[in-house]
Amino acid sequence: MNQPETSGNTGAPIQVLFALLPRSLVLDWAGPAEALRIANQVLRAQGRAPRFVLRFVSPCADMDSSVGVRLAGLEPLPDTLKAPAWVVLVGLPGEVIEVRSDPARALLHWLRGLRPATDTLELITVCAGAVLAAHAGLLAGRRATTHHHHLQELQAAAPSCQVVANRVFVEDAPVYSSAGVTTGVDLMLHRIATICGPALAAQVAQTMVVALRRGPQDPELSPFLNYRNHMHMALHRVQDAVSQQPAEAWNLPRMAELANTSSRHLARLFIEHAGVAPLQYLRRIRLAAARAALQAGYNVTQAAEMAGFSSDTQLRRAWHQFDMTGTPSTTDPATGS
């Protein structure tokens, strides 16, 4: 097949193609698809353009799902893809993934024409979808994971692949793989955070009532994602507002007003449900925003102002207080490494 046509616009909508076979595991594709749908919903509510175009493609126009529900109106496997695009492969029932059927052969033939490349075409696998990718030759020399029942099968299908066990998901851009079933949602939330920002990904996770997880090989959770593993809607409302506008003149009374409660009660709620004091949470969010600004090329003074710190000195003091690695100056590309 032809390679994706580049759009030349990094903010262009991403075509997300869920490539399905008969009896594809519903939760493997429905969970990630819902995460993307909700991300678009949140973007619209913020007055921003949706980023994801969901497409469901298959060698078969209609077929049974893993739970027996009939799927119809599926798109044929496209001859061309418009970049940026993601192709999502999902698992199938059974101890071994059947790749000898006519639909599987057709899908593998289509996959062999793909050439994943960063910012152009990404490959995302959920559960035993990694085995399909391996049979198509897309995991040679890469790191990947799959459901623990299929680890040996994956290794046999792609001998040069570094198969990683005991991981929620593995990132080897432009290939991303998850261990199975619900971890497909974890991986999709991770990709949403990369594209739309961690604060928006946290809102998606909140809406889906799931906890945000990362693989053990990944760095510590960003403060935008941390302290959100609770069900208290008033706290989520405060955290959303602070994350989206860290430079605002936040103080405890203003945060309490958003939660429709008193300052003292809000402090108790934060400690009980989020495990952090409200002003400490605010400082962590501002530090994360400052670090992001520095890494984007802004100088220390600009980063401090953009993140809501009153001065360079206040930023440096908070940086030291929270044991951030290095200093703001060494994070500033203009002055440091």
Q: Which helix (H) or strand (E) holds 175?
A: strand 175-178
| Partner residues linked to 63 by β-bridges | 71
Q: CA 58 to CA 78: how far, in whole Å?
A: 9
Q: What's the rounded mean pLDDT across residues 245-273?
A: 95
Q: For the chain, what is the largest distance between any 2 Cα atoms, rounded to a whole number of angstroms? A: 66
Q: CA 332 to CA 304: how far, in whole Å?
A: 12
Condensed to tens digits (0 to 9), the pLDDT of residues 277-301 reads 999 999 999 998 898 888 778 899 9
User: To the nearest whole percent, how much of the chain has pLDDT over 70?
Assistant: 90
Answer whether 0.75 is exceeded by the pTM: no
225 to each of 24, 60, 194, 243, 259, how far by Cα in Å?
31, 39, 12, 10, 19
Q: Any idea which architecture 233-331 has in CATH?
A: Orthogonal Bundle (1.10)
- Backbone CA torsion sign across 300, 249, 255, 243: negative
What six digits make up the tokens of 27?
């939760």
pLDDT at 1 over 60: no
Domain ranges of the chain: 14-208, 233-331
Report whether 53 contacts 91 (CB < 8 A). Answer: no
Q: What's the rounded mean pLDDT across residues 301-312?
A: 93
Condensed to tens digits (0 to 9), the pLDDT of residues 79-136 reads 999 999 999 999 999 999 999 999 999 999 999 999 999 889 999 999 999 999 999 9
Judge residue 316's burial from the number of C-beta atoms within 10 Å of its C-beta, 0-12 exposed, 13-18 middle, 19 or more buried.
middle
CATH class of 14-208: alpha beta
| Three-state DSSP class for residue 170 | strand
Q: Cβ of 63: how many Cβ atoms within 10 Å?
A: 17
pLDDT at 183 over 90: no
